[in-house]
Chain A
């Protein structure tokens, strides 16, 4: 019983770590799409931010400088995407994919040219990383039954960006649903003509939404290379941008359901790691191939069975043009 409890706590802690970049990228996609811009370039922005953060942190030895560089890189990419899809009214999928492909090639190339380690940045250590923070009393409370392990394993011992994420989710929800800016942002994704008629600039609102998306996505990249990992390695985002996009759709373009979807993805991922090589009663040892398949099977089942109808913001993906 105690073992089961301890195991569950470890799973939850692992879920939180795994879900952090997903949640941030998912919220980024959400801000963009609620404003009517489809953002399939999350993967590229995440990778670009991871690369910039690792590079700046490796050169300066400061994770905070890395954070700034990561955010700036992702912001620039987001605004580029915004320029193509808002000002130039280009195809948003094409623009997003272009960002993904360019970064996938450019980041390892630049890393190779600057650090001569074949597309990697040097391994980061010490102050160049956001290391795990042990909250006060985590050590001394660990022996307290039930609550102690919960506090020391699950609540304490994450990096600062994970704690920031915990604050960012309600912040984004509040912004979207409780502020005038959020109301306009949602309106511009549903019915831009109405917003325009009210005398508010559609383009400006969408640019603002993309800037927010860029910063959030940048943070998810920063946590990859300087928090969870220790340096940039090519293709290290490993499809997390697309997964975040799926989580956002699964979460019906709403912040809290998106958070839950990301946590679910994180949980099944942690679970499959835990189930590998474990002999279950009656079944025996499960083959690795099967446990690794589990997250995807679960995703399909949930999407097919429980998620219901997905309704995207009406104007999502459609460039706004005034009638001439």
Chain B
């Protein structure tokens, strides 16, 4: 009895706070980041950029949450769902199970989950064809390497990250077949995203063994790879966000996964009322993935390389060239 009363008081207090903040607009979106945080210069930061763009366009503020451990996924989802959020955008493959559980419990709340597929009537799932973007950066690595040896460092060993590796390898093979390929994974738990020391050590070991370009798909841990590349005077390839600016001249290119577009689109759709549940795949064709070319790496990508990349891109878009996928990695196609 006492507990119920306490809860009632709490929710009353919450609703007062909410109604004050909700005065600006009636649409109340929430963005939940994955472990690593919204300033990881990579995956989560892309989500933040998308949400910020939406905020700048519409003036609608969004609430956000950065979990410290995987046990907080479900708590956070429940807490925001209970507080009458209109749309909860959860970015990260780790949210799959938590979103499934919470979406069932709150059928009136809309959920958008990025990188995972949840088949429920109030959930929109957005995944990317990372293998297509990784194919292109694999081609770049193969065209650029001087030691004929390229490397890959993944964060947590999950099918999603294996998909980056698969595309990267296939892209490199597409250019030339004689390359040596070295791969490492930082770990098998979510803490693998947050261990730049370990990632740097793996990168040092790869560079010492003759690798001269490493593609890291490891969230914040990837910063360790970039730092190791800078120390060794070798190349690194960034991931998710455009990381070329992090270390100009060291970051050869970045495999951009436009989580910002996905988050922005979900927010805008929910506001207009065009939001639909179901599964969307963002690929090379609709600009969901691509390699980054800007002033920081313009001197590293020659026109001949660019021509080859454009040719391959056209072939992938037309379906002439099929980039392989990894079983269980949520491609949905």
A-B contact count (CB 8 A): 85
B183 to chain A: which residues have CB within 8 Å? Answer: 276-277
Q: How distant is the Cα of A230 from the Cα of B227 in the complex, in angstroms?
A: 7
Q: Taking CB as reference atom, which chain A residue is nearest B37?
A: A118
Question: Do the beta carbons of B185 and A236 come within 8 Å of each other?
Answer: no
* A288-B227 CB under 8 A given contacts A14-B201, A118-B37, A238-B194: no
Q: B273: shortest Cβ distance to chain A, in Å?
A: 33
* A233-B39 CB under 8 A given contacts A131-B231, A292-B185: no
Q: Which of A219-250 contact B (CB under 8 A)?
A: 224, 228-231, 233-236, 238
A292 to chain B: which residues have CB within 8 Å? Answer: 157, 185, 187-188
- Whether a CB of chain B sits under 8 angstroms from the CB of A196 is no
Q: How distant is the Cα of A132 from the Cα of B201 in the complex, in angstroms?
A: 13
- Whether a CB of chain A sits under 8 angstroms from the CB of B302 is no
Q: A21: shortest Cβ distance to chain B, in Å?
A: 8
Contact with B along A117-150 (1 / 0, CB 8 A): 1111001010000011000000000000000000
Question: Do the beta carbons of A229 and B227 come within 8 Å of each other?
Answer: yes
- CB < 8 Å neighbour of B205 from A120, A131, A132, A273: A273
Question: Do the beta carbons of B194 and A14 come within 8 Å of each other?
Answer: no
Q: How distant is the Cα of A108 from the Cα of B61 in the complex, in angstroms?
A: 24
Q: B92: shortest Cβ distance to chain A, in Å?
A: 15
Q: Which of B1-53 contact A (CB under 8 A)?
A: 37-40
B200 to chain A: which residues have CB within 8 Å? Answer: 228-229
B182 to chain A: which residues have CB within 8 Å? Answer: 277
* A123-B201 CB under 8 A given contacts A118-B37, A277-B182, A292-B185: no
Q: How distant is the Cα of A14 from the Cα of B228 in the complex, in angstroms?
A: 13
Contact with B along A29-44 (1 / 0, CB 8 A): 0000000000000000
A100 to chain B: which residues have CB within 8 Å? Answer: none
- Whether a CB of chain A sits under 8 angstroms from the CB of B237 is no
- CB < 8 Å neighbour of B201 from A18, A234, A289: A18
- CB < 8 Å neighbour of A118 from B66, B185, B224: B66
Q: Taking CB as reference atom, which chain A residue is nearest B228?
A: A230
Question: Do the beta carbons of A228 and B197 come within 8 Å of each other?
Answer: yes
- Whether a CB of chain B sits under 8 angstroms from the CB of A153 is yes
- Whether a CB of chain A sits under 8 angstroms from the CB of B265 is no
Count of A interface residues, CB-CB < 8 Å:
34
- Whether a CB of chain B sits under 8 angstroms from the CB of A17 is yes
- Whether a CB of chain A sits under 8 angstroms from the CB of B276 is no
Among A229, A269, A292, the one with the most B-chain Cβ atoms within 10 Å of its Cβ is A229
Contact with A along B247-272 (1 / 0, CB 8 A): 10000000000000000000000000
B38 to chain A: which residues have CB within 8 Å? Answer: 118
- Whether a CB of chain A sits under 8 angstroms from the CB of B208 is yes
Question: Do the beta carbons of B184 and A14 come within 8 Å of each other?
Answer: no
Question: Do the beta carbons of A274 and B205 come within 8 Å of each other?
Answer: yes
Q: How distant is the Cα of A68 from the Cα of B242 in the complex, in angstroms?
A: 35
Question: Do the beta carbons of B39 and A236 come within 8 Å of each other?
Answer: no
Question: Do the beta carbons of B194 and A233 come within 8 Å of each other?
Answer: yes
* A238-B185 CB under 8 A given contacts A10-B208, A120-B39: no
B88 to chain A: which residues have CB within 8 Å? Answer: none
Question: Do the beta carbons of A123 and B223 come within 8 Å of each other?
Answer: yes
- CB < 8 Å neighbour of B196 from A14, A118, A236, A269: A236
Question: Do the beta carbons of A234 and B230 come within 8 Å of each other?
Answer: no
Q: How distant is the Cα of A218 from the Cα of B109 in the complex, in angstroms?
A: 48
Q: How distant is the Cα of A228 from the Cα of B183 in the complex, in angstroms?
A: 21
- Whether a CB of chain B sits under 8 angstroms from the CB of A217 is no
Contact with A along B88-124 (1 / 0, CB 8 A): 0000000000000000000000000000000000000
- Whether a CB of chain B sits under 8 angstroms from the CB of A72 is no
* A235-B194 CB under 8 A given contacts A125-B230, A277-B183, A288-B185: yes
Q: Which 4 interchain pairs have the tightest Cβ spacing?
A: A118-B39, A230-B227, A118-B37, A277-B183
Q: Which positions in A face B, CB cutoff 8 Å?
A: 7, 10, 13-14, 17-18, 117-120, 123, 125, 131-132, 153, 224, 228-231, 233-236, 238, 269-270, 273-274, 276-277, 288-289, 292
In addition to A10-B205, A236-B194, A273-B202, 9 A-B residue pairs with Cβ atoms within 8 Å of each other are: A13-B208, A118-B66, A120-B220, A125-B230, A131-B231, A238-B197, A273-B184, A288-B188, A292-B157
A selection of 22 A-B contacts at a CB cut-off of 8 Å is A7-B209, A14-B204, A118-B38, A118-B39, A123-B227, A125-B230, A131-B231, A132-B231, A229-B197, A229-B224, A233-B223, A235-B191, A235-B194, A238-B191, A270-B205, A273-B198, A273-B202, A274-B205, A276-B184, A288-B157, A289-B157, A289-B188
